[in-house]
Amino acid sequence: MKKARSILFFKDSELKLRSFLKRKGKTVIIGLGNIYKMDDAAGIVALRLLKKKNLDKVKDVSLIEAGRRLIDYVHVIDDLKPTKIIFIDSSSFGAEPGRIELFYQDEIVDSNLTTHENNFNLVLGYLKKKIPNCQILFIGIQFGCLDMTDEILLTENVGKGTEEIVRSFEKYL
């Protein structure tokens, strides 16, 4: 029986994630976002769900909740000496809310992807210089609503996309 493919992962993104995670070495997964701007919290929510599932206990996996302050964590990331870094964040790449797309570092510059982390490209450049053999993957969840809120609140489709990312990590880590 053929296995059903996720409708939330865009194109071959789930296969790209599986292939990336199968590579040997230390993996650092970083959740980005703003918990006060609805769907912008998707990266934080995904990271917290990964922790809840104890994926931070998996050998050679570290989880970092960077929120809106990625630049404050560059030395922590550098000290971990990862071979793979995965960023999770809500972003805009012209898809329906909740859709998931993966971008390798070289694809980020050439795509129509926008992220809300002001220093993202600066941090990418720094990490590639300090850890030249490290491979970087960005998991974007298309946001739907960025209204201010006083609690963590994702729209339905973005919540489903976030859960789908966590299920994929559970399968492939």
What's at 19, amino acid-wise? Answer: S
Q: Per residue in 101-131, pLDDT tens?
A: 998 888 876 555 666 556 788 888 899 999 9
HSE of 51 in the Cβ direction (CA atoms, 13 Å)?
Answer: 13
Q: Per residue in 61-93, pLDDT tens?
A: 999 999 999 999 999 999 999 999 999 999 988
Residue 146 CA to residue 10 CA, distance in Å, equals: 21
pTM reported for the whole predicted model: 0.90
What are the backbone dihedrals phi and psi of residue 101, each rounded to the nearest 5 degrees, phi first? -135, 145
Domains of the chain and CATH, by start: 9-105+141-152 (3.40.50)
Residue 39: the pLDDT is 97
pLDDT tops 90 at residue 155: yes
